[in-house]
């Protein structure tokens, strides 16, 4: 189902009010929407919500859709803030735009890349998807910072998270590039790893900025 961005935002507000804060319905006035707003008609037209005396109630299909929508929103927040390092208001805004592109399986790919996070950067729960359950069963840890690997562990570099171009250049010169294999040979007192045939030592702060997919 492809809903308008506005309709998805209403579903998110409903999810927060009803599922997380325990209300029975969402008061449209509170989020600045009018009953005759096309987005409300759209939701009612798809039989996702019921409107009674100016209040919005979930129908079961709407609750499912709301859950999926809030999941995409919070995954998008993690992408903006953790991977792209766009924080604060700008990160919120970008996440709001990006979430609408995350349907049809893209959310599964993103969730896997982010290591099936359970909370958004604001600490709100991300409803788990089938991918999260499967990963847990397989003991699959997805992408983690190098600091969460043990010595002897091998991985593939997924991405580097740093705003500092000097650090980025330093890592690139070592061959720390997405797609390359990395073998951690020592995790204390500093991190020593092999990329190709070369071995390098870095401190914890830098190791925290290298994200690897464990193999």
DSSP per residue over the chain, as a string? ----HHHHHHHHHHIIIIIIT--SSEEGGGGT--TT-HHHHHHHHTTSEEEETTEEEE-HHHHHHHHHHHHHHHHHHHIIIIIS---HHHHHHHHHHHGGG-TTTHHHHHHHHTT--SB-TTS-B----HHHHHHHHHT---EEEGGGSPTT-EEEEEEE--S-HHHHHHHHHHT--TT-EEEEEE-SSSEEEEETTEEEEE-HHHHTTEEEEE-
Task: For residue 40, state whether it binds Zn ion (rule: CB under 5 A).
Answer: no
Task: For residue 52, state whether it binds Zn ion (rule: CB under 5 A).
Answer: no
Provide the minimum distance between the beta carbon of 203 and Zn ion in the complex, in angstroms, as a whole number: 31
Task: For residue 126, state whether it binds Zn ion (rule: CB under 5 A).
Answer: no
Q: Residues 69-88 vs Zn ion: string with x where CB under 5 A?
A: --------x-----------
Q: Which stretch binds Zn ion (CB under 5 A): 25-33, 61-69, 131-139, 157-165?
A: 131-139
Provide the minimum distance between the beta carbon of 15 and Zn ion in the complex, in angstroms, as a whole number: 12
Options 17, 48, 49, 120; binder of Zn ion; rule CB under 5 A: 120
Q: Which stretch binds Zn ion (CB under 5 A): 19-27, 62-70, 119-127, 207-215?
A: 119-127
Applying CB under 5 A, which residues contact Zn ion? 77, 111, 116, 120, 122, 124, 129, 131-132
């Amino acid at each position: 189902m492809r809903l308008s961005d506005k309709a998805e935002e209403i579903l998110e507000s409903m999810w927060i009010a009803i599922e997380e804060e325990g209300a029975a319905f969402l008061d449209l006035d509170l989020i600045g929407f009018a009953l005759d707003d096309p987005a409300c008609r759209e939701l009612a037209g798809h039989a996702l919500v019921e409107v009674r005396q100016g209040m919005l109630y979930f129908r079961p299909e709407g609750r499912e859709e709301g859950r999926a929508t809030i999941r995409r929103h919070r995954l998008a927040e993690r992408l903006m803030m953790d991977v792209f390092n766009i924080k604060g208001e700008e990160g919120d805004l970008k996440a709001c735009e990006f979430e609408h592109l995350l349907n049809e399986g893209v959310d599964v790919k993103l969730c896997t890349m982010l290591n099936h996070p359970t909370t958004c950067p604001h600490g709100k729960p991300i409803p788990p998807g089938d991918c999260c359950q499967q990963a847990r069963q397989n003991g699959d840890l997805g992408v983690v910072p190098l600091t969460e690997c043990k010595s002897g562990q091998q991985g593939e570099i997924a991405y580097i998270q740093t705003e500092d171009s000097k650090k980025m250049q330093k890592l690139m010169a070592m061959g720390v590039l997405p797609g390359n294999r990395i073998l951690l040979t020592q995790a204390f007192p500093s991190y020593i790893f092999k990329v190709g045939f070369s071995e390098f030592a870095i401190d914890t702060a830098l190791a925290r900025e290298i994200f690897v997919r464990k193999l």
